[in-house]
Amino acid sequence: MKPYFSARSIAAVLTASTFAVAVYAQQKPCTTASKFGPGDQVGNVNYITPDKTLAASRLVTTGRAYRLAIETNNKVPAFPPRTFSVTVLQPEQSGGRSFGPNKTTYNDDIIMGWVGVGTGIDGLGHVGVGDLYFNCNKEADFAEANGLKKLGVENIPAVATRAVLLDMAGYFDTDMLKEGTVFNRAEIDGAMKRQGIRSIEKGDVVLFRTGWIKLIGKDDKRYEDANPGLGREGARYLASLGVAMVGADTENLEVVPFEKDAGVFEVHQILLPENGIYIIENLNFEEMSRDKAWESFFVLGAPRITGGVQAIVNPIAIR
User: What is the footprint of a second copy within residues 12-41 (CB under 8 A)?
Assistant: 14
- Residue 113 within binding range of a second copy, rule CB under 8 A: yes
- Residue 52 within binding range of a second copy, rule CB under 8 A: yes
- 158 to 197, contacts with a second copy by CB under 8 A? 158-160
| Length of the chain counted residue by residue | 319
Residue of 33, 115, 177, 200 that binds a second copy (CB under 8 A):
115
Residues 215-254 as x/- pattern, contact with a second copy by CB under 8 A: ---------xxxx-----------------------xxxx
Query: Closest separation between CB of residue 287 and a second copy, Å?
Result: 10
* Residue nearer to a second copy on the CB measure, 42 or 169: 42
* Residue nearer to a second copy on the CB measure, 175 or 291: 291
Distance of CA 64 to the CA centre of its chain: 23
- Residue 104 within binding range of a second copy, rule CB under 8 A: yes
User: How far, in Å, CA of 200 to CA of 246, rounded?
Assistant: 12
- Residue 74 within binding range of a second copy, rule CB under 8 A: yes
Segment interacting with a second copy (CB under 8 A) among 16-24, 39-47, 51-59, 189-197: 51-59
Q: Which long-range contacts (CB under 8 A, 24 or more apart) does 315-318 make?
A: 315/68, 315/69, 315/119, 315/159, 315/247, 315/280, 315/283, 316/65, 316/66, 316/67, 316/68, 317/65, 317/66, 317/68, 317/163, 317/165, 317/288, 317/293, 318/59, 318/60, 318/63, 318/64, 318/65, 318/66
